[in-house]
């Protein structure tokens, strides 16, 4: 068997992402601290984000709107003077933070490109994801870029048809069990889970530990060697 297509997630697989969302969330906690305890704010924000996904989708812009909505729910109207402006400023900072690659990413992508075509498969706001990819300097490493509103098994089935590969000839690697691993396995591909600390609770799922096409790695740099074992 030969692997022909290697699909990679972007956020928290190629570069740091959740650390910036968590820092922005901490800024909201500080703003709302006189009105609600931290754990209450976190729980309410998570509920609000998930509720709003069907309207705003994934990404920093929807997160910012959910922060404003959470503040209104917890503090009441009118919000203290300047709070909305402060939340918007935190959201702008989240949209404009520098892209920080994980160690050894360029070398890993070069090694992977010797084993198959590379396709980036990421979800979120189109403009923000495009800007992060451009800032990363990694765009030329990929033969295809897929920025989608969400990832499911049909996303990967469509991609495999477009790329002209059978599912068992494809690998997906990423940090989300819900969005990267389970959909790829359901579509018939191989999947490598690379967990990162501080992940969003919405992306959690059961680890398919006994699945014959699944593995868990500590870092993306281990992916080329795992792919070699599949042949």
Residue pLDDT tens, the chain, 231 long: 689 999 999 999 999 999 999 999 999 999 999 999 999 999 999 999 999 999 999 999 999 999 999 999 999 999 999 999 999 999 999 999 999 999 999 999 999 999 999 999 999 999 999 999 999 999 999 999 999 999 999 999 999 999 999 999 999 999 999 999 999 999 999 999 999 887 767 676 778 878 999 999 999 999 999 999 997
Same domain as 81, residue 109:
no
Same domain as 81, residue 148:
no
pLDDT at residue number 1: 60
Helix segments in the chain, DSSP class H: 18-32, 38-56, 60-75, 83-96, 105-113, 126-136, 153-163, 182-186, 223-230
Same domain as 44, residue 158:
no
- Residue 150 CB contacts under 8 Å (≥ 6 apart), including other chains: 57, 58, 123, 179
pLDDT at residue number 225: 97
Same domain as 129, residue 42:
no
Question: What is the radius of gyration, based on Cα positions, of the chain?
Answer: 19
| Domain stops at, among 70, 96, 122 | 96
C-alpha torsion sign, points 62, 65, 71, 73: negative
In this structure, what token pair is assigned to residue 47? Answer: 């509920």
C-alpha torsion sign, points 191, 194, 195, 201: negative
Same domain as 180, residue 194:
yes
What are 95-134's pLDDT values in tens digits? 999 999 999 999 999 999 999 999 999 999 999 999 999 9
Chain centroid, CA 153 distance in Å: 16
Task: Look at the chain and report how many structural domains it folds into.
Answer: 2
What are 4-32's pLDDT values in tens digits? 999 999 999 999 999 999 999 999 999 99
Which residues constitute the domain of residue 92?
18-96
In this structure, what token pair is assigned to residue 98? Answer: 């520098």
Same domain as 166, residue 113:
yes
């Amino acid at each position: 068997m030969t692997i022909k297509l290697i699909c990679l997630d972007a956020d928290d697989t190629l570069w740091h992402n959740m650390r910036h969302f968590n820092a922005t969330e901490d800024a909201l906690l500080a703003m709302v601290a006189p009105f609600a305890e931290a754990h209450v704010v976190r729980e309410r924000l998570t509920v609000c984000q998930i509720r709003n996904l069907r309207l705003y989708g994934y990404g920093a812009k929807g997160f910012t709107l959910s922060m404003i909505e959470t503040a209104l729910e917890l503090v009441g109207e009118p919000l203290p003077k300047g709070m909305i402006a402060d939340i918007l400023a935190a959201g702008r900072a989240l949209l404009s933070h520098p892209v920080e690659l994980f160690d050894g990413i360029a070398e890993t992508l070069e090694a992977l490109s010797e084993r198959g075509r590379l396709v980036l498969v990421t979800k979120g706001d189109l403009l923000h994801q495009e800007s992060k990819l451009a800032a990363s300097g990694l765009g030329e490493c990929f033969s295809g870029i897929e920025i989608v509103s969400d990832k499911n098994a049909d996303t990967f089935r469509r991609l495999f048809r477009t790329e002209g590969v059978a599912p068992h000839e494809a690998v997906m690697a990423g940090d989300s069990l819900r969005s990267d691993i389970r959909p790829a396995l359901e579509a018939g591909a191989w999947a490598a889970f690379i967990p990162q600390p501080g992940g969003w609770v919405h992306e959690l799922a059961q680890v398919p530990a006994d699945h014959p096409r699944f593995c868990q790695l500590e870092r993306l740099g281990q992916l080329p060697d795992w792919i070699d074992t599949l042949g």
